[in-house]
Amino acid sequence: MQRPVTVVVVDGNSGTRGGVIRRLRQIPGISVVGEAGDPGEALTMVGDRQPEVVLIDLRRLASDGAEFLGRLARAAPGMEVVVLTAYLTERERADLARAGARAILLKEIDFEALVRTIRKVTARAVARGRRAEA
């Protein structure tokens, strides 16, 4: 049996963050190991917990999302980033992809599609040797 994928959820809206966490905790094979609502908390949580996936909405957290993703990557090398946001310009999308976001999704995404995305970015990390299989 494979070990669960560890996830930290970062969103400046506590209601949204809580809802995502409640749903993720019901999914076998996914373990929410932390949450954060502001940039300082996010950096500390990611650095302390070293999750495999960070699910993040950068809109309320950082004026320069790409720069902030770089800071997160330095706090937890090897983690995968899934950006979940209400809206995004094409330029922001390109900047975030260059900064290491493995997936960029709109918040209106179907929850099962979000779970598939988390599993997919983790599977690609295994293929690249960034995550060990249990």
pLDDT in tens, 68-117: 999 999 999 889 999 999 888 899 899 999 999 999 999 999 999 999 99
Q: Tell me the CATH number at 106.
A: 3.40.50.2300
Q: What is the pTM of this model?
A: 0.90
Q: Is residue 9 part of a domain?
A: yes
For residue 24, the enclosing domain spans 5-127
Split into its structural domains, the chain has a count of 1
Burial pattern 16-25, b for ≥16 Cβ within 10 A else e, equals bbeebbeebe
Q: What pLDDT is attached to residue 127?
A: 65
Q: Per-residue pLDDT tens for 4-41?
A: 999 999 999 999 999 999 999 999 999 999 999 999 99
Q: Is residue 84 part of a domain?
A: yes
Are 110 and 31 in contact, with CB atoms under 8 Å apart? no
Q: Which of 19, 13, 20, 72 minimizes the C-alpha distance to 37?
A: 13
Q: Is residue 134 part of a domain?
A: no
Q: Is residue 49 part of a domain?
A: yes
Q: What pLDDT is attached to residue 134?
A: 45
Q: What pLDDT is attached to residue 55?
A: 96
